[in-house]
A and B are shown apart, each in its own frame.
Chain A
């Protein structure tokens, strides 16, 4: 019997009992749909985390000043400025695995435009900072090294601040805003960056040259850098080495004896990112395995119905054997029937899973990512379920004795 005819015969048998076939495949449909939807949403969540950390900056290390001890009580990191401007310069020039470094001096300040005012985080930094965070200007330009050298009163605004001070889609370039007592010229507006992994609005920020910040807001440029240093390594492979090198450099510069405690701390953001990614991945795997169990249950459902079908069609099997069907043909027929059931269920499940994921993504604003490999694996797996759970009933059918089968009531 040629394979095409076998498939046709199987399809016909499946269609002869439409309701039953549908209910049988339901297990597979739900299983496959659940696996695909879960994986799509999981992948979306993972991508979102990745994107959020990428928005913070790639291959990023943050160097924070150390803690103070006064009367036995430890202050937290950053409670005492231990990093100097010279440290920043040394990191920039003396560590080969470091691509760029920029300070981040922060203070919440009220910014006033002609008509409105808005309190936001004002950061004093250098032009490198925008590169480290891959955050270019959408309009105008970010300030330059000459602005730093001159201590110019220029400001680069985030999108949210622009909206608050000038209204939506306004062009504030060239306008003047007041920060504290000083007027600042708006020279650039940054691209929209969105939310941080913790839900903070990145765009609610303003940036001014670090020298201007130190003079106008911190009240004078001293020896110490009262803020943190953002360091970008040359690549993702060198992040670890850059961390060690910067640590060694700072210990040396701060004259810390071997065994002594660091008076600063370095955070590796890519480590935080990968930890968070692992969390989402674990969750996705967990959800998908639960869904996969329902696939297994679907397979058992197919086996059950195939067994019922073999019993019910005993006479048909006897007749087919009498008119010349070999045991192998009978085996093939029932195997293909199980395969048709499971594969059809798998394909419907793919459609349903993609639909469900899109619907959820749309309805709840969840990110999702349809993965072609997951779809392929699901389809192959459902076919496998059909074969594994179909082989026993099919063997049972093929081993029937034609005489008994014909006599079966």
Chain B
């Protein structure tokens, strides 16, 4: 299947059981994402967007339906296989950065490669390169406490990038940032998107979603809107590239 999309979610359902109560978080969701797309998933809390994100991120398995990621059926994989898929194909960016405290930016970025078994020197080189790519080449030895929120999130993005993932999953990446820093981070995502990396981003802020090339709205466990759009540049291209390639 040459033209199979990178992400193919078909009729996925997810049911949580808490005691006797069944919660149907997803009630038959289908979604195809092609390589290089920049998808924003929107929805209010309780809509099921986080559940969808967890499934896309191979952190959870659907109750029913199929999920093919890069040509592999992952819906029925066990924990170890899922961990391998996460390590090889995905990169994560979180709202609260989730950097290891008292650990240098470089070591934080190296972490995914550690679990892939990449050797020390190679790990070092690639982590340094990823940090340079997000504009933090001069702050390799800084610990999270010595970095601003925007810089921390860029370290987290470098960490997602370092393994050359096919997809970066970002869960409210600007949720903890002020508006100016949000713009910087979104510009960076757009840069990566132009470089061919597929990005799936969860947000509830419409102006963040405007930066994406496609917006998917989830409500009550179903996709209610799925539209493609001309992305709004996060900011003027000249300043963005100046920031990204110092």
Are A and B a genuine interacting pair, yes or no?
yes
Of all chain B residues, the one with the shortest Cβ separation from A315 is B98
Given A323-B159, A403-B60: A328 and B115 interface contact (C-beta under 8 Å): no
Given A316-B100, A321-B83, A323-B159: A402 and B59 interface contact (C-beta under 8 Å): yes
Which secondary structure dominates chain A's binding surface? Answer: helix
Q: Does B47 contact A (CB under 8 A)?
A: no
Q: Does B228 contact A (CB under 8 A)?
A: no
Q: Which of B54, B87, B103 is the one whose CB lies under 8 Å from A324? A: B87
Within 8 A of B (CB), among A319-333: 319-329
Cβ contact within 8 Å between A326 and B79: yes
User: Which of B84, B86, B91, B115: most chain A CB closer than 10 A?
Assistant: B115
B101 to chain A, nearest CB (A): 8
Cβ contact within 8 Å between B98 and A406: yes
Within 8 A of A (CB), among B90-119: 91-92, 94, 98, 100-103, 111-112, 114-117
Q: Does B173 contact A (CB under 8 A)?
A: no
Q: Does A363 contact B (CB under 8 A)?
A: no
Q: Does B62 contact A (CB under 8 A)?
A: no
Complex CA distance for A9 and B59, rounded to whole angstroms: 24
Q: Does A255 contact B (CB under 8 A)?
A: no
A64 to chain B, nearest CB (A): 78
Cβ contact within 8 Å between B60 and A320: no
Of all chain B residues, the one with the shortest Cβ separation from A16 is B102
A269 to chain B, nearest CB (A): 67
Cβ contact within 8 Å between A325 and B115: yes
A325 to chain B, nearest CB (A): 5
User: Which of A1, A318, A324: most chain B CB closer than 10 A?
Assistant: A324
Of all chain B residues, the one with the shortest Cβ separation from A399 is B79
Complex CA distance for A328 and B88, rounded to whole angstroms: 17
Cβ contact within 8 Å between B102 and A325: no
Q: Does B80 contact A (CB under 8 A)?
A: yes
Within 8 A of B (CB), among A360-409: 402-403, 406
Complex CA distance for A327 and B79, rounded to whole angstroms: 8
B164 to chain A, nearest CB (A): 13
Cβ contact within 8 Å between A327 and B80: yes
Q: Does A257 contact B (CB under 8 A)?
A: no
Query: Would you give the 0/1 interface string for B5-38, flagging 1 where the beta carbon is closer than 8 Å to chain A?
Result: 0000000000000000000000000000000000
A398 to chain B, nearest CB (A): 10
Cβ contact within 8 Å between A320 and B115: yes
Q: Give the number of chain A interface residues (Cβ < 8 Å).
A: 23
Cβ contact within 8 Å between B115 and A1: yes
Which residues from B are CB-within-8-Å of A316? 98, 100
Q: Does A5 contact B (CB under 8 A)?
A: yes
Cβ contact within 8 Å between B79 and A1: no
Interface residues on B, range: 20 to 34
Query: Would you give the 0/1 interface string for A1-33, flagging 1 where the beta carbon is closer than 8 Å to chain B?
Result: 110010001001000100000000000000000
Within 8 A of A (CB), among B63-101: 79-80, 83-84, 86-88, 91-92, 94, 98, 100-101
Q: Which of A2, A12, A318 is the one whose CB lies under 8 Å from B117? A: A2
Cβ contact within 8 Å between B112 and A326: no
Cβ contact within 8 Å between A403 and B59: yes
User: Which of B94, B98, B117: most chain A CB closer than 10 A?
Assistant: B98
Cβ contact within 8 Å between B87 and A403: no
Of all chain B residues, the one with the shortest Cβ separation from A316 is B100
Cβ contact within 8 Å between B57 and A322: yes
Which residues from A are CB-within-8-Å of B54? 403
Complex CA distance for A325 and B103, rounded to whole angstroms: 18
Which residues from B are CB-within-8-Å of A329? 115
Of all chain A residues, the one with the shortest Cβ separation from B98 is A319
Of all chain B residues, the one with the shortest Cβ separation from A325 is B115
User: Which of A16, A318, A322, A326: most chain B CB closer than 10 A?
Assistant: A322
> Could you pull out 25 A-B pairs where Cβ atoms are within 8 angstroms?
A1-B115, A5-B114, A9-B114, A12-B103, A16-B101, A318-B98, A319-B94, A320-B111, A320-B115, A321-B59, A321-B83, A322-B59, A322-B86, A323-B86, A323-B87, A323-B92, A323-B115, A323-B159, A324-B84, A324-B88, A325-B115, A326-B79, A326-B80, A326-B84, A402-B59
Name A residues whose Cβ lies closer than 8 Å to a Cβ of B: 1-2, 5, 9, 12, 16, 315-316, 318-329, 402-403, 406
Name B residues whose Cβ lies closer than 8 Å to a Cβ of A: 54, 57, 59-60, 79-80, 83-84, 86-88, 91-92, 94, 98, 100-103, 111-112, 114-117, 159, 163
The 7 closest A-B pairs by CB, nearest first: A324-B87, A324-B115, A323-B112, A326-B83, A319-B98, A402-B59, A325-B115
